[in-house]
């Protein structure tokens, strides 16, 4: 019999993403294994009642009091949520009152639209930046680099594409990427089409063993995935970055979010979305 | 002279994403215009002292007390942050103590890795799901639909691609997408290659005027962007969804996050990332 795990609920009247973000960053502080459940779109007292029952049932099953992170805004729904026997972290309750006091105004109590930017202009920027990242992926199109806020360059499989997409999605930043070719690496020089955009370049590098592992997952036993080839490419890429004075970051132990925010911070990129 | 805006800081020892998420969802409750600044990677007392000075300077410039959302974990850095004259919302302070009490254990006080999943398996799932979304975009490859958790289908420019990418990035869900062709719409039937995966299908639709606007931004004055063509496609697509019993969602006023969470919720998809 496995040990009972405590159930953690993320409850929201919208997507649940804020509740999850909030909760995750707290739970990572404890070396425990939690059973995690997100319940989005809890926007009526009826639904809230069902959620309270569901939480109570989970507590009875495990014998451990559930923990609830709630970002519900509506006062009626929150009142129902507050009837739970679980440990309730009511995000709105905790922070909104002191904010109202400081700002000398009541909050709107309108269900949050913090993810969403339903404002069509913001939406357009976001989608446009994403389309830009997709169409300028892997050096496929290089004739619109003048529109780029940043051009990521690195050897294949070091994290360029996800980082570009994340920069677009989260920050509305136009990020192109250019994979260093065998020819670039051998010559030890930037290709001509990148030279004029040199100040926009940001390099990524990665530890050789990690690169080998990633490439092997894609093309097992290939020359491309060989330790020799990976070592060669990484060494040459780093030498190129240093020689050309291009800032670079080692992505080996970083998440996409960390790589993206690091680049924004270091390259002082202007974000378009908040 | 424009009215002074209050400055809001999001301070973090990591990416700042949790602090921003927290702060944004609270600030949207107030009909005020804020000047927003994120300061990530504040991981030493020295850096914290600089941040405290920077915040004080902003307060003096605007004459309005700044608001600070901090997710700093390190006790020494937090102590410095607490010397600020600004309104400080210390996320860690607020929630960690009650959590420690409930869980009967001290928190690790290790800088958060909530975004990140530096665990390589989790990283692999995420990147693999994203590569899947990219290589199964716009019906380009249809022979691996058996691996898909969900296949989004809709007319061109209704939000399929960003939704698929978001599902991969945030939840590790394998999402393919299939654009309904003129032929599919005219026949009013699913193409043969989708029939066997029918239970994985989820439709997107969009209001005609919004679709026309998006398409016009891409190909102005084209038949593709004409009101007549947009109306025809949307009507036929919705009829197809209804006829085939495919659930669908209207994306017009929804953010990518909302579309993605709606689909997960309604289609009861299993996420791989938390």
Interface test with A, best of B206, B261, B271 (most A CBs within 10 A): B261
A140 has pLDDT over 70? no
CB contact under 8 A, A99 and B20: no
Domain with A34 in it: what CATH number? 3.40.50
Q: Is the pLDDT of residue A116 over 50?
A: no
C-alpha A208/C-alpha A228 separation (Å) is 9
Residue B20 within any structural domain of the chain = yes
Q: What are the start-end ranges of the H helices in A109-220?
A: 120-135, 160-171, 182-187, 192-195, 208-218
| Domain identity same for B260 and B194 | yes
Contact A96 B29 (CB under 8 A): yes
User: Are B20 and B62 within one domain?
Assistant: yes
Q: Do A155 and A245 have their domain in common?
A: yes
B158 carries a ligand binding annotation: yes
In this structure, the answer to whether residues A14 and A74 fall within a common structural domain is: yes
Q: Give the nearest partner residue to B165 out of A91, A165, A258, using CB atoms.
A: A165
Number of domains in chain A: 2
A108 within domain boundaries: no
DSSP A85: S
Q: Is residue B109 part of a domain?
A: no
Indicate whether B110 belongs to any domain: no
Judge if B40 and B175 occupy the same domain. Answer: no
The answer to whether A162 contacts B17, with C-beta atoms less than 8 Å apart, is no
**B211 and B141 fall within a common domain:** yes
Is residue B274 in a domain? no
pLDDT digits (tens, 9 = 90+) for B103-135: 999 888 766 555 544 456 677 889 899 999 988
Does residue A30 form part of some domain?
yes
Which residue has 């005609």 as its token pair? B208
Tokens of A152: 């990521």
Q: Which residue of B has its CA nearest to A261?
A: B15
List of chain A residues whose C-beta atoms are within 8 Å of the C-beta of residue B120? 210, 213
Query: Quick one: B125 and B261 in the same domain?
Result: yes
Instruction: Give the model confidence (pLDDT) of B8-51 as tens digits.
Output: 999 999 999 989 988 998 998 898 889 999 999 999 999 999 99
Residues B171 and B247 placed together within one structural domain of the fold: yes
Per the listing, tokens 């600004």 go with B86
Co-location of B202 and B167 in the same domain = yes
Tell me if B272 is assigned to some domain: no
In this structure, the answer to whether residues B199 and B144 fall within a common structural domain is yes
Asked whether A16 and B261 are in contact (CB, 8 A), the reply is: yes
Of A116, A166, A213, the CB nearest to B255: A116
**A43: containing domain:** 6-103
CA distance A271 to A265: 10
Sign of the Cα pseudo-torsion (B214, B176, A173, B67, in order)? positive
Distance CA A214, CA A159 (A): 10
SS3 A8: strand
Q: CB-CB: which of A95, A169, A258 is closest to B116? A: A258
Chain B residues lying within 8 Å of A120, measured CB to CB: 210, 213
Q: Calculate how close chain A gets to B32, using CA atoms only, in Å.
A: 9
Distances B251 to A179, A221, B148, B234, B258 between C-alpha atoms, Å? 34, 44, 21, 12, 9
CB A175 within 8 A of CB A167: yes
Q: A29 and B89 in contact by Cβ < 8 A?
A: no
Tell me the pLDDT tens digit for each residue of A57-79: 999 999 999 999 999 999 999 99
Cβ atoms of B126 and B168 closer than 8 Å = yes
Does pLDDT of A88 surpass 50? yes
Last residue of a domain, one of B54, B71, B103: B103
Residues A134 and A246 in one domain: yes
Instruction: Kindly state whether residues B140 and B242 are assigned to the same domain.
Output: yes
DSSP A47: H
Report the range of poorest mean pLDDT among A140-149, B6-15, B154-163, B194-203: A140-149
Task: Please report the number of interchain residue pairs, chain A to chain B, with beta-carbon separation below 8 angstroms.
Answer: 187
Complex ipTM value: 0.86
Question: Which residue in the set B18, B110, B130 is minimally distant from A21, CB to CB?
Answer: B18
């Amino acid at each position: 019999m496995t040990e009972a795990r405590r159930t953690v609920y993320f409850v929201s009247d919208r997507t649940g993403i804020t509740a999850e973000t909030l909760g995750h960053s707290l739970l990572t502080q404890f070396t425990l294994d939690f059973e995690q459940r997100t319940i989005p779109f809890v926007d009526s007292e009826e639904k809230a009642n069902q959620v309270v029952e569901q939480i109570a049932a989970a507590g009875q099953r495990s014998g451990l009091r559930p923990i609830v992170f709630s970002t519900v805004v509506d006062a009626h729904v929150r009142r129902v949520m507050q009837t739970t026997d679980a440990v309730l972290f009511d995000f709105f309750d905790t922070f909104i009152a002191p904010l109202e006091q400081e700002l000398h105004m009541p909050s709107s109590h309108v269900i949050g639209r913090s993810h969403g930017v339903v404002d069509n202009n913001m939406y357009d920027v976001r989608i446009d930046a994403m389309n830009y990242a997709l169409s300028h992926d892997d050096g496929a199109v290089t004739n619109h680099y003048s529109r780029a806020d940043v051009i990521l360059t690195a050897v294949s499989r070091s994290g360029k594409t996800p980082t570009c997409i994340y920069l677009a999605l989260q920050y509305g930043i136009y990020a192109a990427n250019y994979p260093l070719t065998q020819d670039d690496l051998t010559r030890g020089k930037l290709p001509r089409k990148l030279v004029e955009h040199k100040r926009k370049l940001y390099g990524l590098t990665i530890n050789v063993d990690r690169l080998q592992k990633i490439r092997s997952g894609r093309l097992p036993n290939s020359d491309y995935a060989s330790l020799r080839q990976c070592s060669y490419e990484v060494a040459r890429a780093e030498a190129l970055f240093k020689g050309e004075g291009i800032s670079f970051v080692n992505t080996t132990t970083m998440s996409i979010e960390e790589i993206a925010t690091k680049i924004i911070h270091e390259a002082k990129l202007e974000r378009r979305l908040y």
